[in-house]
Chain A
Amino acid sequence: MDTRFTRGKSNILERPLTRPKTEVSVSAFALLFSEMVQYCQSCVYSVSELQTRLADMGQRVGASLLDVLVLREKNGKRETKLLNMLLFIKVNVWKSLFGKEADKLEQANDDDKTYYIIEKEPLINAYISVPKENSSLNCAAFTAGIVEAILTHSGFPAKVTAHWHKGTTLMIKFNDSVITRDKALDSR
Chain B
Amino acid sequence: MRENGGPVVTDFNYTPSHQKQFLQPAVGTTVSSHQDLKQIVEMTLGSEGVLNQAVKLPRGEDENEWCAVHCVDFYNQINMLYGTITEFCSPQSCPRMIATNEYEYLWCFQKGQVPVAVSAPKYVECLMRWCQDQFDDESIFPAKLSGQFPPKFISKYVVQMLRRLFRVYAHIYCHHFNEILELNLQTVLNTSFRHFCLFSQEFELLRPADFGPLLELVMELRDR
A binds B: no
Point out residues on B near A: beta carbons under 8 Å. Answer: none
